Amino acid sequence: MTVQISAVIIAYNEEQNIEDAIRSVDWADEILVIDSESTDRTVDLARSLGARIITNPWPGFSEQKQLGADSATYDWILSLDADERVSDDLRKEIERVGPSADGFRIPRLSFYLGRPIRHGGWYPDHQLRLFDRRKGKWNGAVIHESVKMDDEARVADLRGEILHYTIRSLDEHNKMIAERYAPLGARKMLEEGRQTSPLKAVFSAWFAFLRAYFLKLGFMDGFAGFCIAYFSAHHAFMKHTLLLELQSGAETRKP
């Protein structure tokens, strides 16, 4: 790519991941790490590899990523989480295509329990991660944040992959759902004015499993595919039951 690129990585206590993430973008013109007050060696490791560091208390995914885009030196932003890597094929493709569009969607290949997952709705999981910040911004969503490009902006697809080294253990997956994704999902549903019921909670869990394991061919990923489908159901059920609690609280506060 003939333009200069700032690689922006958000991180919190990512000493196990941050070095590999930075090395995967060491070809970028700038590497900027937005750290959410890590208490481990994340910042020291990132700085030792030449990254510029900005420390900012955690405001949420979208806000933190937008801070990174706004704080970058260059207008072209390549956004990563600390557990993601730019593959060699993607790097070569970025260098080859140049600024032929204003933003690029990139397929993301996730590794679950050490195995690449290509079914269950997890792939290709296109993410708009390379963009001209003058033509787009993060959308402000509390969960499943994404870049919203201007109406007149041109968006193209790349074939090279972002490699996502996600959940390493079942206990980690369970904690992520309980502590992050289910509460954030319930909050998003409440903000959107959606309502649920005990019956919807049960149905959503069953449908989530059937969709991931059968309709999206999760069974082709073996035991990992079954675990993904199970936790998809668990997530759906928790999200709806938490929304029930939020609805109850909202009703209680009504005069």
| Burial (CB count <10 Å: 0-12, 13-18, 19+), residue 110 | buried
121: left (phi over 0), alpha (psi -120 to 50) or beta: left
Shared-domain flag, residues 248 and 179 = yes
Tokens linked to 181: 């994704």
What angle in degrees, to the nearest 10, is found between the helix axes of 182-191 and 222-253? 50
- Total domains present in the chain: 2
Identify the CATH number of the domain in which residue 114 sits: 3.90.550.10
Query: How far does CA 145 lie from the centroid of its chain?
Result: 7
Place of tokens 């990923």: 221
Shared domain check, 147 and 227: no
48 lies in the same domain as 117: yes
* 155 and 192 together in one domain: no
Which token pair is 241? 């039951």
Residue 45's domain comprises: 5-165
Are 244 and 119 in a shared domain?
A: no
Which residues face 110 on adjacent strands? 117, 164
- Same domain, yes or no: 152 and 198: no
Residues 159 and 220 grouped into a single domain: no
Which helix (H) or strand (E) element contains residue 66? helix 61-71
If asked whether residues 159 and 205 sit together in one domain, one would say no
* Residue at token pair 């903000």: 191
Q: State which of 148, 165, 182 marks the end of a domain.
A: 165
Per-residue pLDDT tens digits of the chain, which is 255 residues long: 679 999 999 999 999 999 999 999 999 999 999 999 999 999 999 999 999 999 999 999 999 999 999 999 999 999 999 999 999 999 999 999 989 999 999 999 999 999 999 999 999 999 999 999 999 999 998 888 999 999 999 999 999 999 999 999 999 999 999 999 999 999 999 999 999 999 999 999 999 999 999 999 999 999 999 999 999 999 999 999 999 999 987 655 555
Domain boundary residue, one of 140, 165, 190: 165
- CA dist 60 and 248 (Å) reads 25
Regarding whether 217 and 124 lie in a shared domain, the answer is no
